């Protein structure tokens, strides 16, 4: 039965902050979380996204050095989720604060985490940066679509085999596939060689392995939030220090 | 936890409850209307008991009843006090408080103080309605002040009890059942609506150990033309002692509540132990509700 601002003031006072300091900090947080307009409204009239932001703001009142968030975006619509991510990122930087968050959204862990641990059945199975985790897979997939497969197919395969940065993955007639430790570096080399050999290219793509691939590799299971009880991804978006679990 | 912090916490938490009260106009209206209904209905129903030979409560039943209704309102209002805790548990607010450095004692005292404010309001409404209906009291302002004090102490006792029960029962239906089971007998085993001189002797005997009766005796005694202050302050004294004990027990109930949140942690160093039975693991602890009921009844019947 309290308004947004009253919730923040109460939290600050309970954390031992002085009255004046509390109202300054509350105004600052309301502003930062774009809740200033709704500050005087009862929280029960807030949308899910607003209530969640207020939740986080309450936790930030007393300037903690470490903020623990347990699935902060569960149940939010995509817009509110993107909003929350942006707030968390800027907050972690501005407050030089370590955030330890658990999430079932691999996309969220990928975006927010400076360091990421995959927990499977209560055990940390792997812990690195999201980039390192993805690099540890067999590499990026490089795919080139041939404009004239019938004419260029054989020559194209010979060129692919000659590029040291790429491991040939075979063709299916129209597509030339390879794996590279760094797809973006390998692609220009491949295209230049194909051009020199007179092979006509229709399109080219590089895809990074996703965290879903990483998850699959380390738990031996495909990720589905509904079935993966006991599995969670925790990441730390760190302004200063990092959290090691 | 410094004493100053506990006082600050009590202040901000009480203010929070009063804000909520102000924002529920229906609840406010109920609190004003309910005492009138009770007073006027009971007043009509039992109007003739003053004519029974041996009735020792004066010649105007409305005057006699008013002092009883004041305590009834305090008893029933405070017996429900714990329901707000259960709402907070259901809404996750309780976990949030417990995860913060909020003083557990302040959490109890704040709800109890809030309930006391309601009791004072209701008492003033009851007295006002009675006065309008023609009741005249002999005790004057001093009598009214002591009546209020008795009602507030009674509120402390039962609001703290209700909060403690809420922390153990954790369910609205269970808490309401427990409150009703306790409040009704306490009300009838007293002189609130009927002089115990007219009841079987055992009722009077039991009533002497009834905290509700202590408050009724103190409040009614203070509103006499020539109060027996020894009796009045004696009753108020044991009521105050019980209020302190009950508040302490309710704050202890937080331990049991928090301990029950983390079962199976016994093997770890520094893990919670069963709070009632020393050095026993949680899984071998007697059911929390059993222990609590035992200790409360021991306190009530001291």
- Please say if the pLDDT value at position A77 is more than 80: yes
- Tokens matching residue B242: 């019980």
Nearest to A16 among B16, B19, B101 (CB): B101
Please state the rounded mean pLDDT for residues A126-150.
81
- Are A13 and B16 a contacting pair at CB < 8 A? no
pLDDT score, position A220? 66
The domain in which residue A108 lies consists of 64-131+210-245
Q: Judge whether B219 and B127 are in contact, CB under 8 Å.
A: no
Q: At what angle do helices A183-196 and A149-162 cross, to 10 degrees?
A: 130
ipTM of the prediction greater than 0.90, yes or no: no
Q: Are residues A222 and A203 in the same domain?
A: no
pLDDT score, position A221? 57
| Residues B92-113 pLDDT 10s | 888 888 888 888 889 999 999 9
Q: Are residues A144 and A126 in the same domain?
A: no
With an 8 Å Cβ cutoff, is A213 touching chain B? no
- Please say if the pLDDT value at position A6 is more than 90: yes
Q: Judge whether A95 and A60 are in contact, CB under 8 Å.
A: yes
Q: Judge whether B60 and B50 are in contact, CB under 8 Å.
A: yes
Q: Are residues A142 and A157 in the same domain?
A: yes
For chain B, the residue count is: 302
Last residue of a domain, one of A36, A63, A90: A63
- Helix extents (H) in chain B: 3-22, 25-45, 61-79, 83-91, 93-98, 104-132, 140-169, 172-188, 201-207, 211-222, 229-261, 288-300
The CATH number that applies at residue A245 is 3.40.50.300
Q: Are residues A202 and A219 in the same domain?
A: no
- Tokens matching residue A234: 């925790």
Q: Are residues A145 and A195 in the same domain?
A: yes
Which of A69, A70, A47 is CA-nearest to residue A60?
A: A69
- Please say if the pLDDT value at position A237 is more than 50: no
Count of CB atoms situated within 10 Å of the CB of A126: 17
Confidence of residue A238 (pLDDT cuts 50, 70, 90): very low
pLDDT tens for chain B, 302 residues: list them: 578 888 999 999 999 998 988 888 887 788 778 888 888 888 888 888 888 887 777 778 888 888 889 999 999 989 888 998 999 888 888 888 888 888 888 999 999 999 999 999 989 989 988 888 888 888 888 999 999 999 999 999 999 999 999 998 888 888 888 888 998 899 888 888 888 878 888 888 888 899 999 999 999 888 888 888 999 999 999 999 999 999 999 988 888 888 777 655 454 445 555 555 555 555 555 554 443 333 333 333 22
Q: Which of A83-97, A164-178, B153-167, B235-249 has the lowest mean pLDDT?
A: A164-178
Those residues whose C-beta lies under 8 Å from the C-beta of residue B278, and which sit 6 or more positions away, are none
With an 8 Å Cβ cutoff, is B100 touching chain A? yes
- Please say if the pLDDT value at position A201 is more than 50: yes
The count of structural domains within chain A is 3
The CATH number that applies at residue A191 is 3.30.70.100
- Are A1 and B12 a contacting pair at CB < 8 A? no
Mean pLDDT for chain A overall: 79
Kindly state the helix (H) or strand (E) to which residue A162 belongs, with its residue range: helix A149-162
Nearest to A1 among B5, B13, B20 (CB): B20
d(CA B63, CA B134): 9
Last residue of a domain, one of A44, A63, A82: A63
Nearest to A16 among B5, B16, B23 (CB): B5
- Are B23 and A11 a contacting pair at CB < 8 A? no
Q: Are residues A75 and A181 in the same domain?
A: no
- Tokens matching residue A39: 């500050």
Mean pLDDT for chain B overall: 82
Nearest to B12 among A1, A13, A58 (CB): A13
With an 8 Å Cβ cutoff, is A78 touching chain B? no
- Please say if the pLDDT value at position A40 is more than 80: yes
With an 8 Å Cβ cutoff, is A44 touching chain B? no
pLDDT score, position B241? 96
| Residues B186-225 pLDDT 10s | 988 888 888 887 888 888 888 889 999 999 999 988 888 8
Kindly state the helix (H) or strand (E) to which residue A176 belongs, with its residue range: strand A175-180
């Amino acid at each position: 039965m309290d308004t947004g601002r009253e919730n923040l003031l109460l939290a600050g006072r309970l954390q031992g902050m002085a009255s004046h300091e509390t109202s300054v900090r509350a105004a600052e947080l309301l502003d930062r979380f774009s809740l200033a307009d709704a500050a005087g409204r009862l929280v029960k009239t807030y949308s899910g996204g607003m209530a969640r932001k207020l939740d986080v703001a309450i936790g930030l009142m007393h300037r903690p050095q470490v903020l623990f968030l347990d699935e902060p975006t569960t149940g939010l619509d995509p817009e509110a989720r993107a909003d929350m991510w942006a707030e968390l990122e800027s907050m972690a930087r501005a407050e030089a604060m370590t955030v330890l968050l658990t999430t079932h959204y691999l996309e969220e862990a990928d975006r927010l985490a400076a360091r990421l641990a995959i927990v499977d059945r209560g055990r940390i199975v792997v812990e690195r940066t999201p980039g390192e985790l993805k690099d540890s897979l067999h590499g990026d997939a490089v795919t080139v679509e041939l404009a004239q497969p019938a004419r260029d197919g054989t020559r194209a395969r010979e060129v692919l085999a000659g590029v040291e940065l790429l491991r040939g993955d075979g063709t299916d007639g129209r597509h030339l596939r390879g794996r590279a430790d760094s797809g973006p570096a390998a692609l220009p080399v491949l295209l230049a060689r194909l051009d020199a050999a007179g092979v006509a290219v229709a399109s080219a793509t590089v895809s990074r392995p996703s965290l879903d691939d990483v998850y699959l590799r380390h738990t031996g299971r495909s990720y589905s939030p509904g079935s993966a009880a006991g599995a969670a991804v925790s990441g730390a978006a760190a302004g200063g220090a990092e959290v090691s679990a | 936890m410094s004493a100053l912090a506990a006082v600050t916490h009590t202040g901000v938490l009480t203010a929070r409850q009063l804000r909520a009260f102000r924002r529920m106009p229906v609840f406010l209206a109920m609190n004003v209307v309910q005492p009138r209904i009770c007073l006027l209905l009971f007043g009509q129903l039992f109007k003739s008991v003053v004519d029974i030979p041996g009735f020792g409560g004066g010649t105007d039943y409305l005057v006699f009843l008013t002092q009883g209704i004041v305590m009834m309102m305090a008893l029933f209002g405070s017996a429900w006090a714990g329901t707000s805790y259960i709402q907070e548990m259901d809404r996750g607010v309780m976990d949030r408080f417990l995860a913060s450095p909020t003083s557990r004692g302040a959490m109890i005292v704040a709800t109890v103080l809030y309930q006391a404010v309601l009791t004072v309001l209701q008492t003033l409404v009851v007295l006002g309605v009675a006065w309008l209906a023609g009741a005249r009291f002999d005790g004057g302002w001093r009598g009214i002040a002591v009546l209020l004090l008795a009602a507030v102490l009674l509120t402390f006792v039962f609001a703290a009890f209700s909060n403690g029960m809420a922390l153990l029962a954790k369910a609205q239906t269970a808490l309401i059942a427990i409150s009703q089971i306790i409040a009704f007998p306490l009300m009838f085993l007293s002189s609130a609506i009927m002089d115990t001189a007219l009841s079987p002797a055992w009722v009077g005997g039991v009533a002497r150990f009834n905290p509700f009766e202590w408050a009724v005796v103190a409040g009614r005694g203070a509103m006499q033309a020539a109060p027996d202050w020894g009796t009045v302050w004696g009753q108020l004294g044991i009521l105050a002692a019980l209020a302190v004990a009950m508040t302490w027990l309710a704050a202890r109930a937080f331990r049991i509540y928090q301990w029950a949140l983390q079962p199976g942690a016994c093997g770890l160093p520094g893990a919670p132990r069963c709070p009632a039975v020393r050095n026993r693991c949680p899984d071998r602890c007697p059911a929390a509700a059993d222990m609590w009921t035992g200790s409360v009844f021991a306190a009530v019947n001291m």
